[in-house]
Chains A and B, each alone.
Chain A
Amino acid sequence: MAITEDRPLALEAGTVNKVAERPLGALTRPQSDVGWASWFTTVDHKKIGIMYGVGSLFFFLFGGVEALLIRIQLAAPDGQFLSESLYNQVFTMHGVTMIFLVIMPMAAAFANYLLPLQVGARDVAFPRLNAFSFWCWLAGAIFLNTSWFLGGAPDGGWFAYAPNTSVTFAPGNGMDFYAIGLQIAGIASLVSAINLIVTVLNMRAPGMTLLKMPIFTWMMLVVQFLLLFAVPVITIALFLLTFDRSFDANFFNVEQGGSPLLWQHLFWIFGHPEVYILILPAFGIISEVIPTFSRKPIFGYPFMVGSGIAIGFMGWGVWAHHMFVSGLGPISVAAFSMSTMFIAVPTGVKILNWLATMWGGRLLFNTPMLFATGVIAMFTIGGLSGVTHAVAPSDTQQTDTYYIVAHFHYVIFGGALLGMFAGFYFWWPKVFGHKLNEKWGKINFWLMLIGFNMTFGPMHVLGLQGMARRHHSYASEDGFGFWNGIVSAGAFVIALGTLAFLINIWISARSAKKNPVEVGPDPWDARSLEWSTASPTPVHNFDVDPVVEFQDDWWHRKWGKNEDGKIVRKAYPEDIAQDGSATDVHLPSPSYWPLVLSLSLPVIGYAVIFTFWLLIPAGALFLAGFLGWALEPADDPEAAHGHDDHGPNDADASADAEAEGASHV
């Protein structure tokens, strides 16, 4: 095996000198990075990623129970299980929960954990802002759900169309919780988007040009740009709604000439990019999983990247296809029909490239790959029904029927959520040091896939038969009973699939504890940089900054061509990966203040809804968090200066600069 190699394959590992900790600031700095308390003060992107994951799975159960309540109500004609009012609250919160409290934070979990690793960095650009994003999201999520106990949950649909949301038609506090809760979650998204954009653009390892980044990193970068520009639009829409409800503004007051259509435009200018915010992370995940288990590089890398960017751009020009029945006029409808058909092209490019990646590959159908291929199949069905919506006359027929419900569940559940599950199974060993159980994984996959198609397949039929969505019940003479029964049974099969996943987590953790098996740094023989360091990832990520030469650089360290052009193994991952043995790497220190600052936001929310007296504690919390943050250096400044070897620490440098920046930002 004569392979000429002009670089040492093994990555350097070793010890970095310890820097003394000298806490400064208003309170003694939290020191510990182990124990339960450390989770509240951590600024480590990996811990924050895990917390996003746990949070999103928790709310996934929440939203799932809401879905089951809906399906019990609709299982048979004339359902009496939920009252009309409760039904409205449950379907609204099901949508809001699944979108803002499940898919988005689940994507944030993967992004937080993986982006710094995939670009070869020690942490994100602004570690404390990262912690703030997480706590802010959690605060918003809990705030939103406290509405159940404080006079009723939001009941105007996740789209909250005006003027249904005005005080006249929604007199409870539900829609206030909706507007302010999403506002808080929006702050989290915006801060996180800025943070991750700077991380990906600015903190790449030497040699990692933009076109050598993994596809997952690329797709998440596109998502962060979509968030950056979409969040401010929903921010304004939600402000206008809050001002209307709490301060008697007239934005959606029809009697005064306010325009309900303005809400629809603002909401969908955010809402359609949001659809791609939900799906592109899954696209990124399966673009990592499929090449790994096809034993081939991704087919057409530049086209995968380019189509992702194209989707990001075109996603801004299709929003009015949600509004075809609102009377936009023929020219607008025609234009948005065209653009909606067009956006299927880059999506189709992706699907063909995944198939071409699998074509001729040595396919290995373990659980991550099963979920990834599930995404391709299910998303294609959802994409095709999406194209039927681009045809405005057909869409006019389908609007507000279960056909639409079927479509978006095929893309969001069949695409985004299954993709996230592929990611869970794929990266579990990297995060926790043991694989998930294959047998339970397959049970999980097949239950979910079958349950999913039982649930949402028949909804196409129901929709075409004319069953309207968002209705509390249907009459037995409508003839919807049979398929609704199947749909409801399917929902419970999905619930079993979810249960299988939870059982799998528990069983795998238990067996890993009983007889620990070393998974090694790279159990799947994968391609990107996160697999070049120990599993579970050491707290400092990389002992030494990796230097990148190729796209899929880690794979090129393991495999090469011999003189016959055959691909042969050059090295084993265990021999060349970093062992994570560096001990005293200088890292950003934990902090209380992101948590304190984010706690002030829901209190401000309660103040707007209930009594302005609450602004006093809210202001106190805000000031404490803000000043504490500003006065506390992100790092010990003495340590950060003049020490000539504290690692390749852009993270430290920026965190240090951030301490100064934070006092006025």
Chain B
Amino acid sequence: MEYFLELFFGGLTRGSIYALIALGYTMVYGIIQLINFAHGEIYMIGAFVALIVAGICTIYGLSGVSILILAGIVAVIYACAYGYTLEKVAYRPLRGAPRLSPLISAIGMSIFLQNYVLLAQTPDFLPFPRLIPDFAFMEPVAHIIGSPELVILITTFVTMILLTLLIKKSRVGKAMRATQQDMDMARLVGVNVDRIISLTFIIGSALAAIGGVLVASYIGQVNFYVGFLAGVKAFTAAVLGGIGSIPGAVIGGLVLGWAESFAAGYISSDYEDVFTFGLLILILILRPAGILGKVTKQKV
């Protein structure tokens, strides 16, 4: 039972991170029907920036939670800047181009950013400082769920609630929903669509960076390649839940997290990635619209 609970919470933690990244995919896909392949790279850049800030802070004598917050804030700012620039450089000139063009551009950007970090920093794994402290009150249950897991769960939960509020209640959120439903119509009623698209990329990037910082300090290392796999898995989560749907991304992330955790725990951890992609292929065969996605008819 304890083993089960450990896997359960491990899967929950992992799944909530997937969900956080998947939200970026799903929001962008909902608006411009593009798989933003470089999204995983934004996540990685977020983690790297946090590592650098944390490194500088440690050397200049700051310590503890203040580093975590400072590193997190700088990472989010930079991830937003990268997301914004990414959209402006690689996707905006391709609006209205055939569908394959922005997709290839996205893959190119993903390769570019990976190698940019590889060349600018290092090809090796870098140790990431353990920024999340161990809480004393977590001691009795630490073998099932540790403090980092708790922090990750709370942070992702709060972030998701804030996001939901932003989209459901605010003016900007309304404009985003309008753009998602019908871009031309939104433009007609005075929504600045270009700005909304930029904003979507910025919000998605911020979420990815939060995920990146949390995971990096949880696992304790980063390199230039971590974003790619995380990105692909988060995309799987988004598809699983129904791409374009925000609650779908969360559910998809959690399902994927549990599936991976239990499969690795009870079957074999060597084939973890095989399970993920097997699940993706299975979902696409059985229910291409995903768990919460609506089946849309293509119109001519």
Q: Do A and B bind each other?
A: no
